[in-house]
Amino acid sequence: MAPSETASQARVGLGMPAWLKSSSDGWTLFFMLALVCLCLVAISENARNNLTILEVAWQQNIQLLLDGLFIGAIFAFAAYGLALVWGVMNVKNLCQGEYVIMGGYISYCMYANGIHPFFGFPVAIVLMFGFGWLMYFLVIKRVIDRDLFTSLLATFGIAIVLQQGLNLIFGPEVQTARSGLPTATITIGGGSFTFAWIKLAAFLMCGADAGRLALVIVLFMKRSRMGQAIRATAQDPRAARVMGIDTGKVYAFTYSLNAAICGAAGVLIAMIWVIQPFYGITHSIRSFVVVTAAGFGNLPGVITAGLGLGVAEQYSGFVLGADFQQATVVGLLLLVLIWRQIVENKYRRVVE
């Protein structure tokens, strides 16, 4: 290693020019430039007009913020489940969204039978936990030790089977469950905004549940035998097995917990948005974006990313138009990855 410590630090000190030298960093710069160009194109006259609306009718900001936070809480919820499975089992669960939709259908079924869809919450958690367990022993168990693509294919397969199964049972119509909760209108400064109680309820539920869940999981992970086992398994499955930990049980529990969390999120989705057998993919994508941006094993990160994503979607939908609403999600992910790449590169150089 030729360069002395001072030299390498000097290179870090130079900042941009230094990391430009490697080719991957060149690509990073290229992407950033492309992104900036895209933004400039997007901030057309139309977007500027929309920004003016936000200034004049400033109450709409509150609307966008609230809608974003409320819906973001649900993203964060489903994403947390994915982070768990990803972190502990290293399985990238592509049927995440389908579990969400299944939860939605559970609450829809209750609604269709005259039971308030809120009661779908405990029912979905229990049923989906059971379903997750079943899926683990039927499929996931067999692919967990294989390489990445096997588990991707397997979970993708589950997703397709679930979509078609739901389609056979419920048909392809769009369904909703009505909570019957009213919408409040609040007028301030001559303008008004509304918020739906159902969204607030969902937010509080997710918030409370996420909080409780976080607490329970932290305690569970630190104190309980199973928690220790999960952590040990996440660190080194083979060593854990040698130490007599039943890793299979740990995996099954983790996977089922994820399904239950998704099911709970689905119950709320059915009451806030709409469900259909093939709409799972939207939720899968959002979960992946949130987890990739936040990193697994980082609960506060997942929650912040989820909420931030919700708000960003609302604002970009308003300012840039609905066509950019989802592009923003992916754009943000790209920015986070680029930023992380830069930081890590600097870090690597220091270590070097």
Piece of the chain touching other proteins by CB under 8 A; list 5-13, 220-228, 241-249, 273-281: 273-281
Please answer whether residues 135 and 68 qualify as being in contact, where contact means their C-beta atoms are separated by less than 8 angstroms: no
Q: Which of 35, 43, 60, 87 is close enough to bind other proteins by CB under 8 A?
A: 60
Piece of the chain touching other proteins by CB under 8 A; list 146-154, 201-209, 287-295, 310-318: 310-318
Smallest distance from the beta carbon of 347 to other proteins, in angstroms?
A: 36
How many CB atoms are closer than 10 A to CB 248? 14
Piece of the chain touching other proteins by CB under 8 A; list 31-39, 149-157, 172-180, 232-240: 172-180
Told to check if 323 binds other proteins by CB under 8 A, we report yes
Report the residue count for the chain.
Answer: 352
Told to check if 178 binds other proteins by CB under 8 A, we report yes
DSSP 324: G
Smallest distance from the beta carbon of 186 to other proteins, in angstroms?
A: 11
Please answer whether residues 63 and 317 qualify as being in contact, where contact means their C-beta atoms are separated by less than 8 angstroms: no
Token pair for residue 142?
């067999």
Please answer whether residues 285 and 149 qualify as being in contact, where contact means their C-beta atoms are separated by less than 8 angstroms: no
Piece of the chain touching other proteins by CB under 8 A; list 131-139, 145-153, 245-253, 271-279: 271-279
Please answer whether residues 349 and 12 qualify as being in contact, where contact means their C-beta atoms are separated by less than 8 angstroms: yes
**Alpha helix ranges (H) inside 144-246:** 148-170, 197-223, 225-235, 237-242
Piece of the chain touching other proteins by CB under 8 A; list 76-84, 139-147, 260-268, 275-283: 275-283
Token pair for residue 241?
């097995």
Told to check if 150 binds other proteins by CB under 8 A, we report no
- Tell me whether residue 184 or residue 239 sits nearer to other proteins (CB atom): 184
Cα angle 186, 325, 117; round to 5 = 55
Token pair for residue 204?
């509080």
For residue 51, what are the contacts with CB-CB under 8 A and spacing of at least 6?
319
Piece of the chain touching other proteins by CB under 8 A; list 114-122, 150-158, 251-259, 312-320: 312-320
Smallest distance from the beta carbon of 273 to other proteins, in angstroms?
A: 4
Question: Which x/- pattern, by CB under 8 A, does the window 75-114 give for other proteins?
Answer: ----------------------------------------
The number of residues that bind other proteins (CB under 8 A) is: 44
Which residue in 222, 111, 95 sits closest to 166, CA to CA?
Answer: 95
b/e per residue, 170-180, with b = 16+ CB within 10 A? beeeebbbebe
Smallest distance from the beta carbon of 170 to other proteins, in angstroms?
A: 11
Told to check if 169 binds other proteins by CB under 8 A, we report no
CA 206/CA 119 separation, integer angstroms? 15
For residue 260, what are the contacts with CB-CB under 8 A and spacing of at least 6?
124, 125, 126, 128, 129, 132
Told to check if 203 binds other proteins by CB under 8 A, we report no
Interacting residues toward other proteins by CB under 8 A? 50, 53, 56-57, 60, 63-64, 67, 71, 164, 167-168, 171-174, 176, 178, 183, 185, 194, 196, 198-199, 273-274, 276-279, 281-282, 285, 313-318, 321-323, 325-326
